[in-house]
Protein backbone atom coordinates (compact mmCIF):
# COMPACT_ATOMS: atom_id res chain seq x y z
CA UNK A 1 0.00 0.00 0.00
CA UNK A 2 1.15 3.51 -0.68
CA UNK A 3 0.22 6.38 1.61
CA UNK A 4 0.49 9.86 0.14
CA UNK A 5 0.13 13.16 2.01
CA UNK A 6 -0.66 16.48 0.33
CA UNK A 7 0.71 19.47 2.22
CA UNK A 8 -0.15 23.04 1.21
CA UNK A 9 -0.20 24.31 -2.35
CA UNK A 10 3.05 22.42 -3.34
CA UNK A 11 1.61 18.91 -2.69
CA UNK A 12 4.85 16.96 -2.21
CA UNK A 13 4.28 13.19 -2.42
CA UNK A 14 5.30 11.25 0.67
CA UNK A 15 5.78 7.58 -0.11
CA UNK A 16 5.78 4.76 2.40
CA UNK A 17 6.67 1.12 1.61
CA UNK A 18 5.29 -1.99 3.19
CA UNK A 19 4.74 -5.54 2.11
CA UNK A 20 1.51 -6.06 0.26
CA UNK A 21 -0.75 -8.85 1.41
CA UNK A 22 -0.90 -11.63 -1.20
CA UNK A 23 -4.13 -12.22 -3.03
CA UNK A 24 -6.02 -15.42 -2.39
CA UNK A 25 -4.94 -18.17 -4.72
CA UNK A 26 -1.46 -16.80 -5.40
CA UNK A 27 1.79 -17.56 -3.79
CA UNK A 28 3.68 -14.96 -1.86
CA UNK A 29 6.51 -14.86 -4.33
CA UNK A 30 4.26 -14.35 -7.31
CA UNK A 31 2.30 -11.66 -5.51
CA UNK A 32 5.35 -9.70 -4.62
CA UNK A 33 7.38 -10.42 -7.73
CA UNK A 34 10.61 -10.95 -5.90
CA UNK A 35 10.21 -10.58 -2.19
CA UNK A 36 12.78 -9.30 0.17
CA UNK A 37 12.96 -10.70 3.61
CA UNK A 38 11.71 -8.54 6.39
CA UNK A 39 9.73 -5.33 6.29
CA UNK A 40 10.85 -2.36 4.25
CA UNK A 41 12.12 0.69 6.09
CA UNK A 42 9.47 3.39 6.17
CA UNK A 43 11.92 6.14 5.20
CA UNK A 44 15.25 6.32 3.41
CA UNK A 45 17.64 9.01 2.21
CA UNK A 46 19.55 7.22 -0.55
CA UNK A 47 18.32 5.79 -3.86
CA UNK A 48 16.64 2.43 -3.48
CA UNK A 49 14.51 0.30 -5.72
CA UNK A 50 11.50 -1.77 -4.75
CA UNK A 51 8.81 -3.57 -6.61
CA UNK A 52 5.20 -3.38 -5.63
CA UNK A 53 3.96 -6.54 -7.30
CA UNK A 54 3.06 -7.63 -10.75
CA UNK A 55 0.52 -4.89 -11.28
CA UNK A 56 3.11 -2.28 -10.60
CA UNK A 57 5.37 -3.52 -13.44
CA UNK A 58 8.49 -2.92 -11.45
CA UNK A 59 7.62 0.73 -10.79
CA UNK A 60 10.41 2.64 -9.12
CA UNK A 61 9.87 4.46 -5.89
CA UNK A 62 11.14 7.99 -6.17
CA UNK A 63 14.03 8.90 -3.93
CA UNK A 64 13.06 11.17 -1.06
CA UNK A 65 15.16 13.80 0.72
CA UNK A 66 15.90 13.33 4.35
CA UNK A 67 13.10 15.58 5.58
CA UNK A 68 10.49 13.96 3.36
CA UNK A 69 11.73 10.57 4.52
CA UNK A 70 11.11 11.57 8.09
CA UNK A 71 7.68 12.88 7.14
CA UNK A 72 6.85 9.54 5.54
CA UNK A 73 7.87 7.87 8.77
CA UNK A 74 5.32 9.99 10.62
CA UNK A 75 2.73 9.19 8.00
CA UNK A 76 3.46 5.45 8.28
CA UNK A 77 3.23 5.53 12.04
CA UNK A 78 -0.11 7.32 11.79
CA UNK A 79 -1.52 4.73 9.44
CA UNK A 80 -0.52 1.93 11.81
CA UNK A 81 -2.11 3.62 14.77
CA UNK A 82 -5.32 4.35 12.85
CA UNK A 83 -5.39 7.92 14.08
CA UNK A 84 -3.71 10.99 12.69
CA UNK A 85 -4.01 13.71 15.28
CA UNK A 86 -1.15 16.19 15.16
CA UNK A 87 -1.95 19.86 15.65
CA UNK A 88 -2.40 21.26 12.19
CA UNK A 89 -2.62 24.98 11.70
CA UNK A 90 -4.04 26.91 8.80
CA UNK A 91 -1.04 28.66 7.27
CA UNK A 92 -0.97 30.56 3.99
CA UNK A 93 -4.18 28.88 2.89
CA UNK A 94 -2.70 25.34 3.10
CA UNK A 95 -4.42 22.39 4.72
CA UNK A 96 -2.99 18.95 5.38
CA UNK A 97 -4.88 16.04 3.82
CA UNK A 98 -4.09 12.34 3.76
CA UNK A 99 -4.81 10.27 0.65
CA UNK A 100 -4.58 6.49 0.81
CA UNK A 101 -4.40 4.75 -2.59
CA UNK A 102 -4.32 1.06 -3.35
CA UNK A 103 -1.49 0.00 -5.62
CA UNK A 104 -2.43 -1.88 -8.75
CA UNK A 105 -2.37 -5.57 -8.28
CA UNK A 106 -2.33 -5.43 -4.53
CA UNK A 107 -4.86 -6.97 -2.29
CA UNK A 108 -7.79 -5.04 -0.88
CA UNK A 109 -6.62 -2.92 2.01
CA UNK A 110 -8.15 -3.00 5.43
CA UNK A 111 -10.95 -0.62 6.22
CA UNK A 112 -9.87 2.66 7.70
CA UNK A 113 -11.91 4.52 10.31
CA UNK A 114 -14.70 6.53 8.72
CA UNK A 115 -14.10 9.70 10.70
CA UNK A 116 -11.08 9.91 12.98
CA UNK A 117 -11.63 11.84 16.15
CA UNK A 118 -9.81 15.16 16.26
CA UNK A 119 -8.74 16.25 19.74
CA UNK A 120 -10.66 19.24 21.00
CA UNK A 121 -8.71 22.41 21.33
CA UNK A 122 -9.75 25.89 22.41
CA UNK A 123 -7.68 27.42 19.61
CA UNK A 124 -9.78 28.31 16.57
CA UNK A 125 -6.74 27.99 14.28
CA UNK A 126 -6.88 24.15 14.31
CA UNK A 127 -8.59 22.80 11.24
CA UNK A 128 -10.55 19.52 10.95
CA UNK A 129 -8.90 16.64 9.09
CA UNK A 130 -10.66 14.26 6.71
CA UNK A 131 -9.40 10.99 5.29
CA UNK A 132 -10.24 10.04 1.72
CA UNK A 133 -10.07 6.36 0.74
CA UNK A 134 -9.77 5.90 -2.98
CA UNK A 135 -9.49 2.44 -4.46
CA UNK A 136 -8.09 1.80 -7.90
CA UNK A 137 -8.13 5.47 -9.10
CA UNK A 138 -6.00 8.55 -9.01
CA UNK A 139 -6.77 11.50 -6.76
CA UNK A 140 -9.45 13.95 -7.87
CA UNK A 141 -8.14 17.56 -7.62
CA UNK A 142 -11.66 18.98 -7.63
CA UNK A 143 -12.61 16.76 -4.72
CA UNK A 144 -9.53 17.87 -2.80
CA UNK A 145 -10.27 21.52 -3.46
CA UNK A 146 -13.81 21.03 -2.25
CA UNK A 147 -12.49 19.53 0.96
CA UNK A 148 -10.16 22.46 1.44
CA UNK A 149 -12.96 24.98 0.91
CA UNK A 150 -15.20 23.07 3.32
CA UNK A 151 -12.47 23.11 5.94
CA UNK A 152 -11.91 26.83 5.45
CA UNK A 153 -15.64 27.47 5.86
CA UNK A 154 -15.81 25.42 9.03
CA UNK A 155 -12.86 27.36 10.38
CA UNK A 156 -14.50 30.70 9.72
CA UNK A 157 -17.83 29.75 11.32
CA UNK A 158 -16.55 30.24 14.84
CA UNK A 159 -14.68 33.42 14.05
CA UNK A 160 -17.69 34.98 12.33
CA UNK A 161 -19.60 34.86 15.61
CA UNK A 162 -17.02 37.16 17.16
CA UNK A 163 -16.55 39.59 14.31
CA UNK A 164 -18.66 42.70 13.67
CA UNK A 165 -20.42 42.97 10.30
CA UNK A 166 -18.08 44.64 7.89
CA UNK A 167 -20.74 46.52 5.88
CA UNK A 168 -20.28 50.28 5.76
CA UNK A 169 -23.00 52.36 7.40
CA UNK A 170 -24.50 54.89 5.00
CA UNK A 171 -23.97 58.17 6.83
CA UNK A 172 -25.05 60.28 3.87
CA UNK A 173 -28.52 58.70 3.64
CA UNK A 174 -28.29 58.06 -0.11
CA UNK A 175 -29.61 54.50 0.01
CA UNK A 176 -32.43 55.46 2.38
CA UNK A 177 -33.41 58.34 0.11
CA UNK A 178 -33.58 56.25 -3.06
CA UNK A 179 -35.60 53.57 -1.30
CA UNK A 180 -37.97 56.15 0.19
CA UNK A 181 -38.48 57.86 -3.17
CA UNK A 182 -39.43 54.54 -4.69
CA UNK A 183 -41.81 53.81 -1.83
CA UNK A 184 -43.49 57.24 -2.00
CA UNK A 185 -43.53 57.30 -5.78
CA UNK A 186 -41.55 60.53 -6.16
CA UNK A 187 -38.62 61.37 -8.41
CA UNK A 188 -35.29 61.66 -6.54
CA UNK A 189 -33.79 65.15 -6.59
CA UNK A 190 -30.43 65.00 -8.32
CA UNK A 191 -29.22 68.11 -6.50
CA UNK A 192 -29.58 66.30 -3.20
CA UNK A 193 -27.72 63.24 -4.46
CA UNK A 194 -24.89 65.44 -5.74
CA UNK A 195 -24.57 67.64 -2.64
CA UNK A 196 -25.50 65.30 0.20
CA UNK A 197 -21.88 65.33 1.38
CA UNK A 198 -21.64 69.15 1.39
CA UNK A 199 -22.15 71.33 4.43
CA UNK A 200 -24.90 73.35 2.72
CA UNK A 201 -27.90 72.01 0.82
CA UNK A 202 -30.03 74.47 -1.18
CA UNK A 203 -33.32 72.94 -2.32
CA UNK A 204 -35.60 75.98 -2.51
CA UNK A 205 -38.26 76.24 -5.24
CA UNK A 206 -38.06 72.49 -6.01
CA UNK A 207 -41.71 71.60 -5.53
CA UNK A 208 -41.00 68.75 -3.13
CA UNK A 209 -44.50 68.50 -1.77
CA UNK A 210 -45.41 66.50 1.34
CA UNK A 211 -44.27 63.12 0.00
CA UNK A 212 -40.98 64.47 -1.31
CA UNK A 213 -40.35 66.03 2.08
CA UNK A 214 -41.04 62.72 3.80
CA UNK A 215 -38.53 60.92 1.59
CA UNK A 216 -35.95 63.63 2.19
CA UNK A 217 -36.53 63.54 5.94
CA UNK A 218 -35.80 59.81 6.06
CA UNK A 219 -32.49 60.35 4.30
CA UNK A 220 -31.47 63.29 6.49
CA UNK A 221 -31.91 61.34 9.72
CA UNK A 222 -28.49 59.73 9.27
CA UNK A 223 -26.75 62.55 7.39
CA UNK A 224 -23.80 64.03 9.27
CA UNK A 225 -22.52 66.46 6.63
CA UNK A 226 -25.29 68.98 6.02
CA UNK A 227 -25.25 71.92 8.42
CA UNK A 228 -27.32 74.48 6.49
CA UNK A 229 -30.58 73.28 4.92
CA UNK A 230 -32.79 75.52 2.78
CA UNK A 231 -36.20 74.07 1.88
CA UNK A 232 -38.03 77.35 1.31
CA UNK A 233 -40.96 77.48 -1.12
CA UNK A 234 -41.47 73.74 -1.56
CA UNK A 235 -45.15 73.42 -0.61
CA UNK A 236 -44.35 71.09 2.26
CA UNK A 237 -47.69 71.72 3.98
CA UNK A 238 -48.36 70.32 7.41
CA UNK A 239 -47.53 66.71 6.50
CA UNK A 240 -44.12 67.55 5.10
CA UNK A 241 -43.30 69.80 8.04
CA UNK A 242 -44.22 67.04 10.48
CA UNK A 243 -41.77 64.75 8.67
CA UNK A 244 -39.01 67.38 8.87
CA UNK A 245 -39.77 67.83 12.57
CA UNK A 246 -39.38 64.09 13.12
CA UNK A 247 -36.04 64.21 11.35
CA UNK A 248 -34.85 67.00 13.68
CA UNK A 249 -35.40 64.72 16.66
CA UNK A 250 -32.76 62.36 15.22
CA UNK A 251 -30.39 64.68 13.35
CA UNK A 252 -28.13 66.76 15.58
CA UNK A 253 -25.98 68.32 12.84
CA UNK A 254 -28.32 70.77 11.09
CA UNK A 255 -27.75 74.22 12.60
CA UNK A 256 -29.40 76.50 10.02
CA UNK A 257 -32.89 75.59 8.76
CA UNK A 258 -35.04 77.59 6.34
CA UNK A 259 -38.67 76.47 5.94
CA UNK A 260 -40.06 79.77 4.68
CA UNK A 261 -43.09 79.89 2.36
CA UNK A 262 -44.16 76.30 2.98
CA UNK A 263 -47.67 76.51 4.44
CA UNK A 264 -46.50 74.99 7.70
CA UNK A 265 -49.80 75.61 9.45
CA UNK A 266 -50.72 75.00 13.06
CA UNK A 267 -50.13 71.24 13.00
CA UNK A 268 -46.71 71.61 11.40
CA UNK A 269 -45.73 74.39 13.79
CA UNK A 270 -46.74 72.27 16.77
CA UNK A 271 -44.59 69.34 15.62
CA UNK A 272 -41.69 71.63 14.81
CA UNK A 273 -41.77 73.38 18.18
CA UNK A 274 -41.96 70.02 19.96
CA UNK A 275 -38.82 68.95 18.11
CA UNK A 276 -37.04 72.18 19.04
CA UNK A 277 -37.64 71.46 22.70
CA UNK A 278 -35.43 68.37 22.27
CA UNK A 279 -33.09 69.52 19.52
CA UNK A 280 -30.48 72.03 20.65
CA UNK A 281 -28.38 72.03 17.49
CA UNK A 282 -30.66 74.28 15.40
CA UNK A 283 -29.36 77.81 15.94
CA UNK A 284 -31.09 79.65 13.07
CA UNK A 285 -34.71 78.97 12.07
CA UNK A 286 -36.63 80.82 9.36
CA UNK A 287 -40.39 80.36 9.11
CA UNK A 288 -41.32 83.43 7.10
CA UNK A 289 -44.59 83.20 5.19
CA UNK A 290 -45.56 79.85 6.69
CA UNK A 291 -49.19 80.62 7.63
CA UNK A 292 -48.53 80.02 11.30
CA UNK A 293 -51.37 82.21 12.53
CA UNK A 294 -52.04 83.25 16.08
CA UNK A 295 -52.79 79.75 17.38
CA UNK A 296 -49.29 78.54 16.50
CA UNK A 297 -47.67 81.24 18.65
CA UNK A 298 -48.59 79.32 21.80
CA UNK A 299 -46.30 76.48 20.74
CA UNK A 300 -43.65 78.97 19.63
CA UNK A 301 -43.76 80.68 23.01
CA UNK A 302 -43.42 77.36 24.83
CA UNK A 303 -40.39 76.47 22.72
CA UNK A 304 -38.76 79.86 23.38
CA UNK A 305 -39.00 79.33 27.12
CA UNK A 306 -37.34 75.90 26.88
CA UNK A 307 -34.85 76.19 24.05
CA UNK A 308 -31.86 78.27 25.08
CA UNK A 309 -29.61 77.58 22.08
CA UNK A 310 -31.54 79.16 19.21
CA UNK A 311 -30.02 82.47 18.17
CA UNK A 312 -32.12 83.57 15.18
CA UNK A 313 -35.86 83.24 14.64
CA UNK A 314 -37.73 84.63 11.63
CA UNK A 315 -41.53 84.74 12.00
CA UNK A 316 -42.23 87.46 9.45
CA UNK A 317 -45.28 87.35 7.14
CA UNK A 318 -47.28 85.02 9.40
CA UNK A 319 -50.44 87.01 10.24
CA UNK A 320 -49.50 87.26 13.93
CA UNK A 321 -52.00 89.55 15.64
CA UNK A 322 -52.53 91.16 19.03
CA UNK A 323 -52.92 87.84 20.83
CA UNK A 324 -49.63 86.66 19.38
CA UNK A 325 -47.85 89.66 20.91
CA UNK A 326 -49.36 88.88 24.30
CA UNK A 327 -47.91 85.35 24.13
CA UNK A 328 -44.52 86.16 22.69
CA UNK A 329 -43.75 89.03 25.08
CA UNK A 330 -43.56 86.96 28.31
CA UNK A 331 -41.68 84.20 26.47
CA UNK A 332 -39.01 86.66 25.33
CA UNK A 333 -38.71 88.00 28.85
CA UNK A 334 -37.55 84.53 29.97
CA UNK A 335 -35.63 83.51 26.87
CA UNK A 336 -31.86 83.52 27.25
CA UNK A 337 -30.79 82.50 23.77
CA UNK A 338 -32.43 84.54 21.00
CA UNK A 339 -30.12 87.22 19.59
CA UNK A 340 -32.01 88.11 16.41
CA UNK A 341 -35.80 88.18 16.00
CA UNK A 342 -37.77 89.13 12.90
CA UNK A 343 -41.48 89.85 13.36
CA UNK A 344 -41.94 92.17 10.40
CA UNK A 345 -45.05 92.18 8.24
CA UNK A 346 -47.46 90.98 10.92
CA UNK A 347 -50.37 92.54 12.82
CA UNK A 348 -48.87 93.26 16.25
CA UNK A 349 -50.87 96.13 17.71
CA UNK A 350 -52.78 97.43 20.70
CA UNK A 351 -52.30 95.59 23.98
CA UNK A 352 -50.33 92.90 22.20
CA UNK A 353 -47.74 95.45 21.13
CA UNK A 354 -47.52 96.91 24.64
CA UNK A 355 -47.05 93.51 26.33
CA UNK A 356 -44.52 92.51 23.73
CA UNK A 357 -42.52 95.70 24.33
CA UNK A 358 -42.46 95.00 28.07
CA UNK A 359 -40.98 91.60 27.36
CA UNK A 360 -38.24 93.24 25.29
CA UNK A 361 -37.40 95.47 28.23
CA UNK A 362 -36.73 92.42 30.40
CA UNK A 363 -34.81 90.48 27.77
CA UNK A 364 -31.05 90.40 28.25
CA UNK A 365 -29.89 88.59 25.10
CA UNK A 366 -31.69 90.06 22.08
CA UNK A 367 -29.42 92.13 19.84
CA UNK A 368 -31.42 92.64 16.61
CA UNK A 369 -35.19 93.22 16.48
CA UNK A 370 -37.23 93.85 13.33
CA UNK A 371 -40.78 95.09 14.00
CA UNK A 372 -41.32 96.85 10.70
CA UNK A 373 -44.71 96.82 9.00
CA UNK A 374 -46.79 96.15 12.09
CA UNK A 375 -49.30 98.37 13.90
CA UNK A 376 -47.61 99.37 17.16
CA UNK A 377 -49.10 102.87 17.01
CA UNK A 378 -48.47 105.50 19.64
CA UNK A 379 -49.11 103.23 22.64
CA UNK A 380 -46.77 100.62 21.32
CA UNK A 381 -44.12 103.24 20.55
CA UNK A 382 -44.35 104.62 24.09
CA UNK A 383 -43.98 101.11 25.54
CA UNK A 384 -40.97 100.48 23.31
CA UNK A 385 -39.42 103.73 24.52
CA UNK A 386 -39.72 102.50 28.11
CA UNK A 387 -38.15 99.20 27.07
CA UNK A 388 -35.15 101.05 25.59
CA UNK A 389 -34.73 102.89 28.87
CA UNK A 390 -34.06 99.65 30.79
CA UNK A 391 -32.77 97.35 28.07
CA UNK A 392 -28.99 97.18 28.01
CA UNK A 393 -28.31 94.80 25.12
CA UNK A 394 -30.44 95.72 22.08
CA UNK A 395 -28.31 97.11 19.24
CA UNK A 396 -30.58 97.26 16.17
CA UNK A 397 -34.26 98.23 16.12
CA UNK A 398 -36.43 98.56 13.03
CA UNK A 399 -39.85 100.18 13.53
CA UNK A 400 -40.53 101.34 10.00
CA UNK A 401 -44.18 101.75 9.03
CA UNK A 402 -45.82 101.21 12.43
CA UNK A 403 -48.39 104.02 12.41
CA UNK A 404 -46.40 106.06 14.90
CA UNK A 405 -47.56 109.68 14.93
CA UNK A 406 -46.14 112.73 16.71
CA UNK A 407 -47.37 111.83 20.27
CA UNK A 408 -45.89 108.39 19.98
CA UNK A 409 -42.58 109.78 18.69
CA UNK A 410 -42.33 112.22 21.60
CA UNK A 411 -42.81 109.50 24.20
CA UNK A 412 -40.47 107.16 22.36
CA UNK A 413 -37.71 109.79 22.40
CA UNK A 414 -37.91 110.04 26.21
CA UNK A 415 -36.69 106.50 26.67
CA UNK A 416 -34.14 106.84 23.87
CA UNK A 417 -32.45 109.70 25.73
CA UNK A 418 -31.22 107.21 28.36
CA UNK A 419 -30.26 104.28 26.14
CA UNK A 420 -26.57 103.39 25.79
CA UNK A 421 -26.49 100.30 23.60
CA UNK A 422 -28.58 101.03 20.51
CA UNK A 423 -26.46 101.38 17.35
CA UNK A 424 -29.06 101.48 14.58
CA UNK A 425 -32.63 102.88 14.66
CA UNK A 426 -35.07 102.90 11.74
CA UNK A 427 -38.25 104.97 12.07
CA UNK A 428 -39.08 105.60 8.42
CA UNK A 429 -42.54 105.71 6.84
CA UNK A 430 -44.26 106.72 10.05
CA UNK A 431 -46.68 109.70 10.15
CA UNK A 432 -44.65 111.50 12.83
CA UNK A 433 -43.85 114.45 10.57
CA UNK A 434 -40.77 116.61 10.89
CA UNK A 435 -41.48 117.48 14.55
CA UNK A 436 -41.46 113.85 15.62
CA UNK A 437 -38.17 113.19 13.83
CA UNK A 438 -36.68 116.33 15.34
CA UNK A 439 -37.61 115.18 18.87
CA UNK A 440 -35.83 111.86 18.35
CA UNK A 441 -32.76 113.59 16.92
CA UNK A 442 -32.57 115.96 19.91
CA UNK A 443 -32.86 113.02 22.34
CA UNK A 444 -29.79 111.50 20.72
CA UNK A 445 -27.96 114.83 20.88
CA UNK A 446 -28.73 115.25 24.59
CA UNK A 447 -27.61 111.72 25.51
CA UNK A 448 -23.87 111.79 26.27
CA UNK A 449 -23.75 107.96 26.35
CA UNK A 450 -25.63 107.38 23.12
CA UNK A 451 -24.01 104.85 20.82
CA UNK A 452 -26.24 105.46 17.78
CA UNK A 453 -24.42 105.37 14.47
CA UNK A 454 -27.36 104.99 12.05
CA UNK A 455 -30.65 106.94 12.13
CA UNK A 456 -33.13 106.24 9.35
CA UNK A 457 -36.07 108.61 8.70
CA UNK A 458 -36.72 107.56 5.12
CA UNK A 459 -39.92 108.70 3.36
CA UNK A 460 -40.87 111.32 5.96
CA UNK A 461 -41.39 115.02 5.13
CA UNK A 462 -38.66 116.97 6.96
CA UNK A 463 -38.25 120.74 7.35
CA UNK A 464 -35.19 122.98 7.43
CA UNK A 465 -34.88 122.85 11.24
CA UNK A 466 -34.31 119.13 11.10
CA UNK A 467 -31.75 119.45 8.31
CA UNK A 468 -29.81 122.14 10.19
CA UNK A 469 -29.69 120.05 13.37
CA UNK A 470 -28.63 116.98 11.41
CA UNK A 471 -25.73 118.90 9.80
CA UNK A 472 -24.53 120.25 13.15
CA UNK A 473 -24.61 116.77 14.73
CA UNK A 474 -22.56 115.32 11.88
CA UNK A 475 -19.88 117.92 12.55
CA UNK A 476 -19.66 116.83 16.17
CA UNK A 477 -20.06 113.11 15.48
CA UNK A 478 -18.76 112.29 11.97
CA UNK A 479 -19.49 108.58 12.48
CA UNK A 480 -23.23 109.28 12.77
CA UNK A 481 -25.19 108.47 9.60
CA UNK A 482 -28.59 110.15 9.28
CA UNK A 483 -30.74 108.90 6.43
CA UNK A 484 -33.62 111.12 5.44
CA UNK A 485 -35.44 112.17 2.33
CA UNK A 486 -38.88 113.29 1.29
CA UNK A 487 -41.09 110.58 -0.21
CA UNK A 488 -41.53 110.54 -3.95
CA UNK A 489 -44.58 112.32 -5.24
CA distance 20 to 7: 26
397: in domain: no
Cβ proximity of 44 and 35 under 8 Å: no
Domain that holds residue 116: 2-160
38: in domain: yes
Task: Quote the pLDDT of residue 49.
Answer: 43
CA distance 253 to 166: 25
Number of domains, the chain: 1
328: in domain: no
Task: Quote the pLDDT of residue 46.
Answer: 44
CA distance 444 to 429: 20
CA distance 14 to 440: 110
237: in domain: no
Cβ proximity of 256 and 231 under 8 Å: no
363: in domain: no
88: in domain: yes
User: What single DSSP character describes residue 57?
Assistant: T
pLDDT in tens, the chain (489 residues): 444 444 444 444 444 444 444 444 444 444 444 444 444 444 444 444 444 444 444 444 444 444 444 444 444 444 444 444 444 444 333 333 444 444 444 444 444 445 444 444 443 333 333 333 333 344 444 544 554 455 445 444 443 343 434 445 566 678 889 999 999 999 999 999 999 999 999 999 999 999 999 999 999 998 999 999 999 999 999 999 999 999 999 999 999 999 999 999 999 999 999 999 999 999 999 999 999 988 999 999 999 999 999 999 999 999 999 999 999 999 999 999 999 999 999 999 999 999 999 999 999 999 999 999 999 999 999 999 999 999 999 999 999 999 999 999 999 999 999 999 999 999 999 999 999 999 999 999 999 999 999 999 999 999 999 999 999 999 888 899 999 876 554
Q: Which residues of 20-38 are buried (b: 16+ CB within 10 A; e: fewer)?
A: bebeeeeeeeebbbeeeee
Task: Quote the pLDDT of residue 130.
Answer: 36
Distance of CA 55 to the CA centre of its chain: 74
232: in domain: no
68: in domain: yes
- Report the 10 Å Cβ neighbour count for 206: 17
DSSP readout, 246-287? Answer: HHHTT-----EEE--SS--HHHHHHHHHHHHHH-----EEE-
Amino acid sequence: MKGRALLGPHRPVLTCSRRARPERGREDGAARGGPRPGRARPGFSGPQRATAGPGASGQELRPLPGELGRASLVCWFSLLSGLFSPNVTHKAGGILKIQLQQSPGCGRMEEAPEEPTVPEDDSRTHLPLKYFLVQGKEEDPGELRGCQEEANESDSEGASDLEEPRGLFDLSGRSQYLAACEAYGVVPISSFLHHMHDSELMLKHRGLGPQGAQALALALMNNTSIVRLNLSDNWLNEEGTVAIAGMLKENCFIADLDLSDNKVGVKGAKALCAALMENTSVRRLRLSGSDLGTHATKDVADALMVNTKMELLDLSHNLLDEEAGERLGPALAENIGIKELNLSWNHLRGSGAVIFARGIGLNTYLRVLDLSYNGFGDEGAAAMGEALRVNGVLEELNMNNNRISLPGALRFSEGLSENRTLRSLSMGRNPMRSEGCLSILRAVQMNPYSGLMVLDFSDIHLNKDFEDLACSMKEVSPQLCIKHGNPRA
